[in-house]
Amino acid sequence: NAGVTQTPKFRVLKTGQSMTLLCAQDMNHEYMYWYRQDPGMGLRLIHYSVGEGTTAKGEVPDGYNVSRLKKQNFLLGLESAAPSQTSVYFCASRKHGDDQPQHFGDGTRLSIL
């Protein structure tokens, strides 16, 4: 059981380049989330999805787009990368239900030069 898998694990981009981070979960979870974590800080929610075909903005959505075309996948896109988006990105998924915990992937470390 792989749980939550993030691809790639590391990436270096130049300012202005675009890329897509992939999150895949094999637990049939309804909810999925994208966070970013900067040094010495907790995670901040970028976007989330409560089901296939639906997405919503989190705390820090600017500069990012997401798509949830399939239930098991949640994609995070950077259309024009900026140095301020250098961070570690975590994806999480969760089963529907009030007391269900989130299950996290091991992150994507993204550096933008």
Partner 1 sequence: LAKTTQPISMDSYEGQEVNITCSHNNIATNDYITWYQQFPSQGPRFIIQGYKTKVTNEVASLFIPADRKSSTLSLPRVSLSDTAVYYCLVGSTDSWGKLQFGAGTQVVVTP
Site residues for partner 1 per CB under 8 A: 4, 31, 33, 35, 40-45, 48, 50, 56, 58-59, 90, 92, 94, 98-107
In the bound state with partner 1, the residue whose beta carbon lies nearer, of 33 and 74, is 33
33 burial type by CB count under 10 A (0-12 exposed, 13-18 middle, 19+ buried):
buried
In the bound state with partner 1, the residue whose beta carbon lies nearer, of 14 and 42, is 42
Q: How far is the CB of 45 from partner 1 (least distance, A)?
A: 6
In the bound state with partner 1, the residue whose beta carbon lies nearer, of 9 and 70, is 9
* CA separation for the pair 44, 63 (Å, rounded): 14
Contact yes or no for 3/105 (Cβ under 8 A): yes
Which parts of the chain fold into alpha helices (H)?
Answer: none
